[in-house]
Chains A and B, each alone.
Chain A
Amino acid sequence: MDGASTPLHAKPDVEDSALANDFAVELRDVVKLYGEVAAVDHVTMFIRHNEFFSLLGPSGCGKTTSLRMIAGFERPTSGVIAIDNKLMGATPPFRRDVNTVFQSYALFPHMTVEQNVAFGLQMKGINKDETKRRTQEALELVRLPQLAGRYPKQMSGGQQQRVALARALVNRPKVLLLDEPLGALDLKLRKEMQIELKTLQHQVGITFIYVTHDQEEALTMSDRIAIMSRGKALQIGSPLEIYERPNCRFVADFIGETNFLDGKVIEVRGDFATLELPSGQTFVGRVSEGVRAGAHATLSVRPEKMQLLENASSTAANTYQVTVFSIAYVGSDTRVIINLGAQRIDVWEQNSSSTLNPDDYFFKPGENAWLTFKPENALVLAG
C-alpha cells in the first residue's frame, strides 16, 4: 500500500491539461490533523473548470474533511488550497466563492423556501428586484416554483434536496460543493436525482465537487473521481481508468468486484508480468507501477472478464482446470464460484439466451471445467 499512497495521477494531470495553470480548485500537499490523527494526509488534487469531480471512499477516508476545507469550515494544518487560482489561506467561508449542498440539507427551518433561496443574495446586498427574479429562476431550475411559500418541514426529502441545490446555485458560485447530497433519499429517487444533477451541471456550467461513498453514483455522474482511503488520495482518474486500470489493491477492491490471486512475480516483459501462485500455477496480466521481478504481487481479475469452458488446451496462458463449487442465478448473469486448488474464484457468465430450464447451464457443482482469461483482462498489482 505504501508504494501506492502517493497520488500517481496527480502530476501527469497537471502536465496533460491544456490549461496547465488554470484550475477551479487546487489542493497542494494538504494535511489536516485532529490531534495525532491525520484526517487528510498530504493530498494534492487539481480540479478543472466545469468538471464533475467526485471524492469517493469509505466513511472516515477524509473526503468530507477535504470538502469542508475547500468550503472554509476547516483550515488545513499544512498545505495550500486555491479556488479559481486565488489562495484561500484563512479566508472565512462567507468570503469564498463556493457554495455547499449539505448532507442534512441544512435548510433554515424558520424561513420559507423562497427566503432560504434568497438568503445568499441578500447577504451579498443584491437589490430586491434582482433577488426576487434570480430566486424565481433558481426555483424554476429545480422545478419547484409552486412551493416558494412553504417551510422546509412541509416538504419531502427530495424536494428539500432541490431547495438546498437552488439555494446554493442561485449565488452562481465558482464551485459547488456537494456532501453526499443524495444519501438520505430512497434508491429510486436517488437514481432520478443522479441524472437530474448531472443534467443540471451541464446546464449551469459550474464545477461540481461531489462527495460520496457510493461507487455506482460516482461512476455514473463523474468526469473524474478521486478514490480516497485513510486520508490519502490513492488514485485520480476517469471512471473508465479507475475501473479498468486501478493502481493499487484498495482501488481494485473498492470499485466493483474482483478476484485477487497473491503470488510472486517471476518475470516482467514489456507491458506484462508473470505471477506464480504458491500452489504452482502461473498467470499473466498487465503490469502496473511498482511491480518488480522477484517481489510479491497480486493478480486482480474481474469476474466478468473470465470464461468457463468445457474443453480447453492446457498449454494456453491463464488456462487451468477447475472444480465448480456453487452456482447462483441472478437474472442478468449466472455467478459461479470455482475452486482452483485452495483458491476460490468468482466468475460471472452473462445469460445471453433466455431459458426456463435450470439444467440448461452447462456446469453443476462438483463438475470440472476450464477457466480461461486473456492477459490484457488481468492486472498485476504491486504489494
Chain B
Amino acid sequence: MTNSTIVVMGDRAEYAPPAPERPNLRLGQLSLIAVTLFTFAFLYVPIIVLILFSFNSARTGAVWQGFTLSWYQRLLGNEALLTAAGRSLIIGIVSTAGSVVIGTLTALAMEREHFRAKAVWDGLLYMPVIIPEIVSGVSLLLFFAAGGIERGLLTLVVSHIAFSMPFVYLTVRARLADFDRSIEEAAQDLGADEAKTFWLITLPLLMPGIVSGALLAFTLSIDDFIISFFVTGKGWNTLPIYIWSQLKQGVTPEINAISAVLLLFSVSVIALSLLLQRRRN
C-alpha cells in the first residue's frame, strides 16, 4: 500500500479493499471489531434479557425461578390491553393509508412541478421531521382544545397522519428523484397517454418507495407514545399509552411479555420489508 506508483482504480462496485498487511492496520481492524462487538452487545443484551425474563415464573425481582408461558396466557385474557392493541392497529392502518396517499401526491407535485412558493413548502415539509415530538404533541393538544374538538379516535388519526405523512413524502420523493424520466417518455412514445403512463409505468415503478414509506408510517404510528399521549381523550388508550400506564404502576412480568411480542412484531415488519425489497431486485 505504500508504493508510489499511480494505480488505476478498479470498478467501485466490485472493489473490496485488500486485506490489511501492516501491524497498525491490523490493530485498526481489531479495534473496529471490538467497538462493533461492544455496540451490538449494548444494543441487544437488554432486549434479550427482557425476552428471557418474560418466561420467568417469578412475580418480582430478577431471580430465575423457572420457565413459564403464563404471562403470555394472561395477555390473551387482558381486556384493556387487547382493546388498546386493537385501537393501535386501526389507527395505524387508517393513518398509514392517509399518509401514503397524501405523501405520494405531495411528492409528485414537489419533485415534478414548478409553482410559486415551492421553496417555502419544501422547508415546511421538513419541519415536522425536525420539531421535537413533545412540541408537536402539546401544540396539537392546545389546538384541539382551543377549537373545542373532542379528543379521541379522530384527533389521534389526523395527528398520526400529520407526523407520518412527511416521512412517506420524503421516501417517495427520493424514489422519484432517481426516476429515469425517459422510461415515461418511452411509454408515451409507444402510444400511452398521460393517464396510462401514470398507472402502467410511474406507479408500479414507485411502488417500492411507497411500500417502504407505508411501513415507516405504520411503524411510527404503532410506536408513537408522546404525541398520542397528548392528543388522546379519556379512556382512549393506545398500546404504547397502556404500556406506559402499566410501567408507572410498577413493573410486572406481563409487561416483559408485551414487549417481547412487540419486538417480534418489529422483526417481522423489517423481514417483510427486506423480503419485498429483494423481490423487487
Interface positions of A (Cβ within 8 A of B): 71-73, 92-95, 98-100, 102-104, 106-110, 119-120, 123-124, 167-168, 171
Contact = CB atoms under 8 A, between A and B. Distances in A.
B179 to A, nearest CB: 11
Contact of A123 (B180, B182, B196): B196
Contacts of B201: 108
Contact of A102 (B185, B192, B196, B205): B185
A120 B190 contact: yes
A110 B204 contact: yes
26 contacts: A72-B188, A72-B189, A92-B188, A93-B185, A94-B191, A98-B189, A99-B189, A100-B185, A100-B189, A102-B185, A102-B186, A104-B180, A104-B182, A106-B183, A106-B185, A106-B186, A108-B183, A108-B186, A108-B201, A110-B204, A119-B192, A120-B191, A123-B190, A123-B192, A167-B186, A168-B190
A120 B192 CA distance: 8
B14 interface: no
Given A102-B186, A119-B187, A94 B192 contact: yes
Contacts of B189: 71-73, 93-94, 98-100, 168
B193 interface: yes
Interface of B: 180, 182-183, 185-193, 196, 201, 204-205
B202 to A, nearest CB: 11
Contacts of A95: 191
A109 B182 contact: no
Pairs of residues from A and B, 4 with the lowest C-beta to C-beta distance, nearest first = A123-B191, A120-B190, A106-B186, A106-B182
Given A100-B185, A124-B191, 4 more contacts: A73-B185, A92-B188, A106-B182, A123-B190
A167 B190 contact: yes
B186 A171 contact: no
Given A100-B186, A123-B196, A110 B180 contact: no
A102 B183 CA distance: 9
A167 B186 CA distance: 10
A120 B189 CA distance: 8
Nearest to A97: B191
Nearest to A109: B205
Contacts of A120: 190-191
Contacts of B192: 94, 119, 123
B205 to A, nearest CB: 6
A59 to B, nearest CB: 17
A99 B180 CA distance: 18
Contacts of B182: 102-104, 106
A103 B181 CA distance: 12
Contacts of B183: 106-109
Contacts of A92: 188, 193
A94 B188 contact: yes
A103 B204 CA distance: 22
A115 to B, nearest CB: 10
Contacts of B190: 94, 99, 119-120, 123, 167-168, 171
Contacts of A171: 190-191
Contacts of A72: 188-189
A110 B205 CA distance: 7
A289 to B, nearest CB: 39
A309 to B, nearest CB: 44
A345 B109 CA distance: 59
A95 B182 CA distance: 17
Nearest to B201: A108
Contacts of B180: 104, 106
A326 to B, nearest CB: 27
Given A104-B180, A110-B205, A94 B185 contact: no
B187 to A, nearest CB: 7
A171 B190 CA distance: 8
- Residue with the highest number of chain B CB atoms closer than 10 Å, among A72, A95, A120: A120
A366 to B, nearest CB: 34
Contacts of B205: 109-110
A124 B191 CA distance: 7
Contacts of B191: 94-95, 120, 123-124, 171
A36 to B, nearest CB: 18
Contacts of A167: 186, 190
A133 B49 CA distance: 64
B192 to A, nearest CB: 5
